[in-house]
Each structure stands twice: as C-alpha cells, then as structure tokens.
Structure 1
Amino acid sequence: MVWAVNQQIARGKRTRIWGGALLCLLFLMLATPKIPRSSKNHIFADMRNFLGVPNTLNVITNFPFLVVGVLGFVLSLQGNFFNISFPGEVWGWALFYAGITGVAFGSAYYHMKPDESRVMWDTLPMMIAYSSLYSSFIVERVSQRIGLSSLCTLLLVAFLSAAYGRAYNDLRLCMAFQLIPSIAIPGMTYVFRSQYTHARYWLFAAGAHVLAKFEGVADKKIYYVNRYLISGHSLEHLCLAMVPVLLSVMLMYRRMKVQRLGDHKERPGRE
C-alpha cells in the first residue's frame, strides 16, 4: 500500500516537472520569432593576437574550464572528496564535469577561428553540461529515478536542439538550454526542499551564470570602459567558470540534513 502511494506521488512529480517544461517550450516556440544565426554573432570585441594565438584572450580564458572540469570529473568518480550519496548523482555530476571539460576544448577551438562550421563545438558541450546539472538537481531534490530519466531525456533534447538549430537556422531551442541554470533551478529551489546543507550555492551559481550572460551581451561596452584591457566575452568565460567552482565548493562542504528513507518519499515544504 505504501509502495503504491509512493509510486503515485513519484508519477505526480514527474508529470508536474515535464508538463511544466513542455508548456514552457511550447510557449517559447509560439510566442517568440525565429532567431537565425548571423555572421555578426562570430565577431567579438577583442580580436587581438598574442604569441601567434588568434583571438588570444577569448581562447585562453577557457583554461579554467579545463582545470575545474578535469578535477571535478576525477573527484566525482573517486567518491571521497565530494559528498555524493547516490549513484544517480555520480552519473549526473561526472557528466557535468565532463561537459565542462568539453567546453574548454570546444570553445577554444571555436574562438581560434569563429565561424558557423565551428560554433557547435562551442555550444553543444555547454548544453550537455546544463542537462547533467539539471538532472543532478532533480536527483537531489525529487528522486533518483526521475533525475536519471531526466538526464537521458535532456541529453536527447540537447542533441535534437543542436540538430534543429543547424538544420533550420533557428537558435531558440539552443538558447532555451542556456536559461535552465538561471531560471529553472532557482525556481525549483523554492518548490522542492534540499536534503543537503549549503544548498544556497545553487543560487550563487545561478547568479554567476546570469552575470556572465550580461557580460557577454555587453562585450564591446565592457571592452571600451576598461580601456581595451579585456572584453566582456572574455569576462563571460571567467565568470561562467565560477559556476562549476561554486558547485564544487558546495559538494565539498555539504552534508545530508536528514537520511532519506526512500527514493520516492514526499518532501513537502520549502527550503
């Protein structure tokens, strides 16, 4: 009887999560115009070359992604340094850090010669990282089963979104993935209670992500204000690298508040 009730609760949570996601996606596609790619998207404020490296600062500011990505991946699988309690979390966090590592290589490769043929190497690893991060959040807040199913679904959607953007010259789905950390995660923070301490680091990471996006939009203005020292896009890379850093600090110091009795136990209340 209890098992049946828990199963019904889990199905209800799954329905709410995916129903809300589908409604948001439908609203996005119906309410917004097509966003085509433009050659202007590949022109950045700082195009300087140092030591023979094209677009040097936009390339080398990806190095922090490599450091935190490799370290995070190893520590996620190692199992002692990060406080990861469930197998579903291991898969999600390991793939998140693998995606961050991929960002380092993909973004550097793209910025050495920004054009349409290379841009997907820049965006797809980040979409994979976002998918894994969101699934880890669901494992922590909702349940392991729903989190793992979300991981598979989101990875599939990430690849389909990339293919759609490439085939139909429409960036809307790819841009929607960039909204996951800054909108969906903070929103769900107040719906599903965390079982760990230091959960506020999710909000810190979302704030760093929002700040990074503003820096990217203000690429030329920031470059002009600081007298051509560093551009907004390079600062965007550095600020985005703070997202996995903040989440790594959370994983190091967090502790389980209350031992979970079941993977589908109802968790009422706010954080």
Structure 2
Amino acid sequence: MVLLTNQQIGTWKRKRILVGSLLICWLILMFFTPKVPLHSFRHHVFADKRNFMGEIWGWTLFYASVSSLAFGSAYYHLKPDDNRIVWDTLPILIAYSSLFSSFLVERAGERVGLSCLVLLLFISVFSVAYARQVQIEVIICVLVDGRVFNDLRLCLTFQLIPCLVIPVMTVLLPPKYTHSRFWLLATAAHAVSKIEGLADSKIYNFNGYTISGHSLGHLCSALAMVLLTVMLLYRSIRFPRLSELKGHP
C-alpha cells in the first residue's frame, strides 16, 4: 500500500512537471516571438493555388448528387419497385447533367456550360417524371391532353449523351486543363457500365453466378468517379480561354 502510494505521488509529480514545462514553453512562444496578424496578405497566399473543384457549381453538384446516389440506390435495391426507383434514377441524371455542364464550361465557355446546366437539370426532372407515370400538370398537361407516360427511352437517351458527345467534343475543342485524357477514360468506364447493366443476366450466367452484370456496372461507374477525381487532383491550367482574357491588359 505504501509502495503504491509512493508510485502515485511520483506519477503526479511527473505530470505536474510536464504541464509546467509546457506552460513555460507556451509563455515563451507568446512573449518572445513576433505577432502573426490575421489581416495579412501573406496569410491568404497558399502554395497550391489550383482550384480543386474546377468550375465550382457543376463539380459541387456532381459530387453532391453522387453522394446522394449512394443512399438513393441503397434504398431502391433494398426493395426494387417503381416507387423507389425515382431515388436511384434522379441523382444519376443530376450527376450526368452537372458533369456534362462542367465539361462544356471547360471546352465551350462558362456561359454555355451554366446555361446547359439549367436546361439539363430541367430535362433530368422531366425524364424521371416521363418514366415514372407522373401526369404532367398545368401547361404541359394541356399540351399532351392529360396523358400519363410510362416510357424509359428519355432516361436512357439522356444517360447515353456523355458517351457520345464527350469523346467528339474532346477531339474537336481544345482542352483548357491538362490531363484531359481522363475524360475519355471516365467516359469509357461509363459506357462499359451501361453495357454490363444491359447484359446483367448473361454476365451472371457466364461467370458461374459469381457477380452480375448490374453489380459490375456499379463498379465501373465508381471507377469513372475515381478517374474524374484523379483528374481534378492533378490537372492544371493549360491555357486560358479568349473569353477569360477579355477585360485584362
């Protein structure tokens, strides 16, 4: 008991010495080093001046929709039906819209990209409504005589746009940033994911019921996200566009 008490006393003494030493070091640091003012120009100058998110609106919406897709897709796959598929499809279409608009901002200019973002978001919502048997109300309801749609063609067509347009525009329009080949790699991964989804049962039977084509499609889609993220991490401005130089000497 006495030995245990002596050990406890020794431990407390060492702790007090350590705390006292740290306090003295902090006081020396505060009183003998120069101030670091908050309102200083150097305080806001960082070594890495790259814009990680690229064109902020499109990329932010893209990653937000991909994040929400993780929950929406999980909710749908727990009990697949016509009601739950909306929460799986809508985030995908929003992700495509924001991704394609970001590509247009880089290749065709900010005004074109942002205008297409608004238009594509509207088409995304309309595509889901068109496929989900939602009766289009007010003006649209009058134009189509109140019909109820049940057609996936618009959604499928909308998902094929990046596979067709991005490679063509990559060849025709010069890139603003480096590492533009990642656009083609991500597009290829996306195209493969769609093919795997269409061949769901055939792939599942071919590999001995190990993994389905739909599951492989999810993996390829995730690979496309990884490729785009790597592109954003390592790319830099190749050259500014003429529209961005207007107004500058």
The question of a shared fold, defined as TM-score above 0.5 by the shorter chain, is answered with yes
Question: Does the C-alpha gap of structure 1 residues 94 and 207 become closer, same or farther in structure 2, counting only changes over 3 Å?
Answer: same
Per-residue deviation, 1:232:
1.0
2:208 maps to 1:213: no
Match 2:118 to one of 152, 155, 161:
152
Match 1:200 to one of 181, 188, 192:
181
In structure 2, the residue matched to 1:115 is 81
List per-residue Cα deviations over 1:189-248 (Å, max 9, x = no partner). 122111111101100001001111111112112212222111111111111111111001
In structure 2, the residue matched to 1:248 is 229
In structure 2, the residue matched to 1:186 is 167
What CA distance in whole angstroms lies between the structure 2 residues aligned with 1:103 and 1:159?
A: 15
Q: What residue identity is the alignment partner of 2:227?
A: L
CA contact 2:65–2:95 (8 Å) conserved in 1: yes
List per-residue Cα deviations over 1:66-90 (Å, max 9, x = no partner). xxxxxxxxxxxxx9675445xxx11
What CA distance in whole angstroms lies between the structure 1 residues aligned with 2:205 and 2:79?
A: 23
CA contact 2:97–2:124 (8 Å) conserved in 1: yes
Q: What residue identity is the alignment partner of 2:240?
A: Q
CA contact 1:198–1:253 (8 Å) conserved in 2: yes
List per-residue Cα deviations over 1:96-136 (Å, max 9, x = no partner). 01111121111111111111111111111000000000000
What CA distance in whole angstroms lies between the structure 2 residues aligned with 1:237 and 1:81?
A: 31
In structure 1, the residue matched to 2:104 is 138
Match 1:238 to one of 201, 219, 235:
219
CA contact 1:218–1:232 (8 Å) conserved in 2: yes
2:60 maps to 1:94: yes
CA contact 1:107–1:122 (8 Å) conserved in 2: yes
CA contact 1:82–1:252 (8 Å) conserved in 2: no
Name which of structure 1's ranges 219-228 and 140-149 shifts more when overlaid on structure 2: 219-228
Larger Rg: 2
What CA distance in whole angstroms lies between the structure 1 residues aligned with 2:89 and 2:224?
A: 16
2:158 maps to 1:177: yes
What CA distance in whole angstroms lies between the structure 1 residues aligned with 2:111 and 2:131?
A: 30
Q: Secondary structure at the match of 1:179?
A: helix
Q: What residue identity is the alignment partner of 2:220?
A: C
List per-residue Cα deviations over 1:146-201 (Å, max 9, x = no partner). 11111111101111111122230011111111102211111111221111111011
Question: Does the C-alpha gap of structure 1 residues 84 and 111 become closer, same or farther in structure 2, counting only changes over 3 Å?
Answer: closer
Q: How does 1:39-78 map to 2 (within 5 A)?
A: none
RMSD in angstroms over aligned alpha carbons?
A: 1.8
Q: What residue identity is the alignment partner of 2:115?
A: S
